[in-house]
Structure 1
């Protein structure tokens, strides 16, 4: 099934309707199917009415119990993955107000205990200086003063002793001249400073690493329950366990080869010195 942002709005309702239709076509009651899937009849009813979105495991149990043909099962599985995917277009976010996006991010950060950030293109807001933030918001329409203030407020979460942060930044993300050379040197100094916080790990991936899979998208993993993937025109939100597992595996593959601690700080100082010279 190809990706179509318009499909995402209908996928949950389509999945609920399709699962109910499969059961009725098989001539089975909700009570019978719930027992075969080791779930309550109430849960199955909520799945078929769209009040809850079933996970892929639940869908596979239902399909197996109903003896669903392989081709139909593949279509249903693809629909289930779409049901756990959300598209958030940037223009829609701008219309709602960029400040609301900052509130959403603060909510995600407040709920999560372990947060992982893969940053192949730019420094994320939690690590950014005000000058870097302003440069990054230059393309966003409207007055960004309120958004800038909220971005700075969010940075307090880095000092929460109950949370663990891992940031993986490519050399491009660190060195891309988003703002003036003087401000870029200050941004690198900030990364060095933040790397000393007890709950913060900052890893760097320099260009010279041989045979490494090319980085594609910025993404963030919140615990093991949600992934956001950034694109130029918006973001995808994945809640399916398999999509989350795939992104965790990708993150781990880069984490194993990244430079941390003093080694990362030495690289950051070197690059800051280049900007200062």
Structure 2
């Protein structure tokens, strides 16, 4: 089974749901009785208990009161807030535009020694060129209907990419060959991006691997884009949210996946040959 990109967040939510379910069971009341005491529907109780709907602080307080466990409400509310903080909705992060989002990563980047990135469809952000970023962020801005600060956001992303040239950092970037053929912006912008990969891949701090589309018998499936920051944090990018994974067992799972994907990739001259083919395909 593929790794669930929101597994850490969902596991945390399920922990909250389990505590509430145990409170109800210890109080000796049914879901219907609890719903009646709280003044909501039985289906709402069921959704909360099965972690399908995250409870609000008011829900938790009402639940605990109905179970005669008011003293446990503050702790469960704190647990619930921690669970929800693991699942950060993009619309909250980008509601004022994309520039602020770019700047928010700088402290994490500066504190990371080893960056490991896997991307199936896009060139990793640290290797993106101005035209490519502009095309990508323009599309995101239009799709999400957010304030247009693309020019400033592009400058911020380029600025943070200078970390490639700063001492004390190493980068292992793995991309699928399909990412070389997924055109962002016009043909000139894409050609410039692919050309830059030939240069950036030669930097002493960068190991750029390309997983050929012809790779047979994959022992591992393509998966969501993810970033490993040392061995302490994984950031997983979804359409609707960014999931932060901090649980050691799950970080280890992503490390195992990355190691398997790295075995499939080609580096050096073989990677450059695939990039050149993609450039030639642009015509």
5+ residue gaps in structure 1?
A: 22-47, 54-78
The 1-side partners of 2:232 and 2:240 are apart by 24
Partner of 1:192: 198
Query: What TM-score results when the alignment is normalised by the length of structure 2?
Result: 0.69
SS for the counterpart of 1:235 is: strand
Partner of 1:159: 165
Larger deviation, residues 92-101 vs 149-158: 92-101
- 1:3 Cα offset (Å): 9.5
Whether the 8 Å CA contact 1:12–1:83 is kept in 2: the answer is no
Per-residue CA deviations over 1:124-181 (Å, capped at 9, x if unaligned) read: 2211111100111123132211111100101100012211100000011121011222
Partner of 1:245: 252
SS for the counterpart of 1:166 is: strand
Whether the 8 Å CA contact 1:84–1:239 is kept in 2: the answer is no
5+ residue gaps in structure 2?
A: 24-73
SS for the counterpart of 1:138 is: helix
Partner of 1:61: none
Question: In the superposition, relative to structure 1, how do residues 269 and 4 fare at CA in structure 2: closer, same or farther (>3 Å)?
Answer: closer
Query: What TM-score results when the alignment is normalised by the length of structure 1?
Result: 0.70
The 1-side partners of 2:133 and 2:124 are apart by 9
The 2-side partners of 1:49 and 1:214 are apart by 39
Partner of 1:87: 87
Whether the 8 Å CA contact 2:5–2:243 is kept in 1: the answer is no
Partner of 1:181: 187
- Aligned mate of 1:216, from 215, 220, 223: 223
SS for the counterpart of 2:105 is: helix
The 2-side partners of 1:251 and 1:166 are apart by 10
Q: Give the count of matched residue pairs.
A: 221
Per-residue CA deviations over 1:84-114 (Å, capped at 9, x if unaligned) read: 9711111111125422221221121111100
Larger deviation, residues 161-170 vs 264-273: 264-273
Superposed, 1:47-86 pairs within 5 Å as 83=83, 86=86
Question: In the superposition, relative to structure 1, how do residues 201 and 85 fare at CA in structure 2: closer, same or farther (>3 Å)?
Answer: farther
SS for the counterpart of 2:244 is: strand
Runs of 4 or more, structure 1, over 6 Å off, are: 2-5
SS for the counterpart of 1:214 is: coil
Per-residue CA deviations over 1:50-80 (Å, capped at 9, x if unaligned) read: 9x98xxxxxxxxxxxxxxxxxxxxxxxxx9x
Question: In the superposition, relative to structure 1, how do residues 84 and 202 fare at CA in structure 2: closer, same or farther (>3 Å)?
Answer: farther
SS for the counterpart of 2:86 is: strand
Whether the 8 Å CA contact 1:135–1:178 is kept in 2: the answer is yes
The 2-side partners of 1:135 and 1:234 are apart by 21
Q: CA RMSD in A?
A: 3.3
